[in-house]
Amino acid sequence: MTTLSVNHVARIEGHGDITVDVDEGVIKRITMDIVEPARIFESMVVGRTFDEAPLITSRICGICSANHAVTSILATENAFGIEVSERTKKLRELLVYGSYLQNHGTHLYILAAPDYVGLPSVFPLAETAPEIVKRALALKRLGNELCTLVGGRAVHPTTAVIGGFTSEPTRTELLSFGKRLEEAVRDAAATVELFGSFDIPRYETKSDMLSLVASDNYAIVEGEIHSLTHKWNRPVSDYRALMQEEVVSHSNSKHVMVDGKPFMTGAIARVNNSWDQLLPSARVVASKVGMRPVMKNPFYNNICQAIELVDAAERCAMLCYELADSNGSASPVEFKPRKAVGYGATEAPRGTLYHTLEYDRNGIVTAGDVITPTAQNLASLEADMRAFAPSILSLEHDEFILKIEQLVRAYDPCLSCAVH
């Protein structure tokens, strides 16, 4: 028996290893080992107050901190029965989209692209193809600046609180941002073309794909859970009954199943499930590189992220113009804590993020639950590694490992989220 292992998979967020056991040309075991130490957030929120909960849970992840903050806020508002203004809802959407531009921009160009051009990192690419790196940094910066505009800074928003925002962007800022976002649509479309031009391994997953959907919007903040395979919709409050979390021996991250089966969440699930809600420009660019539902190749997750960049840039430009030209306030609304349980969900760049917070009558957390996108994706990732590996087993050792790593990176895992 030969064991091939990758100690510390690079260019992903967090610490993870891959183990492959091969016996006489047959793969016996292949696992994604999440060795990132657990920080036990679900126990840390217990005993904390309602306003501390989003502050704490947003520290689960530095990349999608806006999502954790907003999801925690939504769970609390759901528990206390708080209705927020339309302006608050729109600003939250902008905040979450800021993390899309930032995450997808970084992931696609800095973490994933080197795989497709056969390089160990983005640094040599900066010398050979400076215009590509420039485009990546511009998209990432735009995302950061959008998060900063709405949330106060790019990592860990400080203005988003229960009931609204402690400060808001000005009309001038919104108008100038709208223009920059509109201009970014071109860079985003070029990203779709670039990833569409890469030689992508042929493989189809058997996993279902789950994401939030809404009848009138590309669901990012709130919505219902939709299954691509089974076509059902379920309310967010059903997620704990729907999903089974299990501890596996090789990983500090739990695995999550629905009816005992793995599923994918993330850009590919959203683009498949909400295809009709994409802006026409995004659909046209997608179709040009041959992307249309149903897409079952997990490597396409990267192209779907690029498609979302097009949609997000244009959508955010429209949101900025709408906010600039409408009145209303996003100041936090008044509320009273009550003994209740609340559920929240948003679409993080990597997939659906669920939070539950249970409160006593003084607004002190008595229990918390978080299910992150990466935890949902891990069972599917391992199933795909097992199914994909035999087709590349004839490759040289380094090439084989590189292809497996490429599959891992296509899933865009976030390991600190996964263990939280």
Instruction: Give the residues lining the site for other proteins (CB under 8 A).
Output: 8, 10-11, 13-15, 36-40, 42-44, 46-49, 52, 55-56, 59-63, 65, 106, 110, 120-123, 126, 137, 140-141, 144, 152-156, 158-159, 161, 166-167, 247, 249, 251-252, 254, 405, 416
Q: Which is nearer to other proteins, 226 or 420 (CB)?
A: 420
Q: Which is nearer to other proteins, 98 or 342 (CB)?
A: 98
Say how far apart CA 292 and CA 86 lie, in whole Å: 32
User: In whole angstroms, how close is the CB of 373 to other proteins at the nearest point?
Assistant: 15
Q: Which is nearer to other proteins, 121 or 215 (CB)?
A: 121
Whether 372 contacts 34, CB under 8 Å: no
User: In whole angstroms, how close is the CB of 110 to other proteins at the nearest point?
Assistant: 6
Say how far apart CA 197 and CA 271 lie, in whole Å: 19
- Sequence-distant (6+) residues with CB within 8 A of 133 are 109, 122, 125, 126
Q: What is the b/e burial string over 168-191, where b = at least 16 CB atoms within 10 angstroms of the residue's CB?
A: bbeeeebeebbebbbebbebbbbb
Q: Which is nearer to other proteins, 156 or 315 (CB)?
A: 156
Q: Which is nearer to other proteins, 56 or 279 (CB)?
A: 56
User: In whole angstroms, how close is the CB of 357 to other proteins at the nearest point?
Assistant: 15
User: In whole angstroms, how close is the CB of 166 to other proteins at the nearest point?
Assistant: 3
User: What three-state secondary structure class fits 323?
Assistant: helix
Say how far apart CA 151 and CA 52 lie, in whole Å: 17
- Pairing assessment for the beta strands 224-227 and 160-161 based on DSSP bridges: unpaired
Whether 65 contacts 155, CB under 8 Å: yes
Q: Which amino acid is at 300?
A: Y
Task: DSSP letter for 178, please.
Answer: H
Q: Which is nearer to other proteins, 214 or 248 (CB)?
A: 248
Cα distances from 260 to residues 197, 245, 263, in angstroms, run 36, 10, 10
User: In whole angstroms, how close is the CB of 39 to other proteins at the nearest point?
Assistant: 5
User: In whole angstroms, how close is the CB of 176 to other proteins at the nearest point?
Assistant: 19
Q: Which is nearer to other proteins, 162 or 192 (CB)?
A: 162
User: In whole angstroms, how close is the CB of 75 to other proteins at the nearest point?
Assistant: 18
Strands laid side by side in the 263-264 sheet: 233-234, 224-227, 208-213, 263-264
Task: DSSP letter for 109, please.
Answer: I
User: In whole angstroms, how close is the CB of 168 to other proteins at the nearest point?
Assistant: 9
Helix axes 65-80 and 130-151, enclosed angle (nearest 10): 30
Q: Which is nearer to other proteins, 1 or 172 (CB)?
A: 172
Query: Partners of 258 in the beta sheet?
Result: 243, 261
Q: Which is nearer to other proteins, 59 or 296 (CB)?
A: 59
Say how far apart CA 266 and CA 210 lie, in whole Å: 8
Whether 165 contacts 330, CB under 8 Å: yes
Q: Which is nearer to other proteins, 61 or 286 (CB)?
A: 61
Strands laid side by side in the 340-348 sheet: 340-348, 351-359, 365-371
- Sequence-distant (6+) residues with CB within 8 A of 165 are 88, 91, 150, 159, 330, 331, 332
User: In whole angstroms, how close is the CB of 417 to other proteins at the nearest point?
Assistant: 8
User: In whole angstroms, how close is the CB of 44 to other proteins at the nearest point?
Assistant: 4
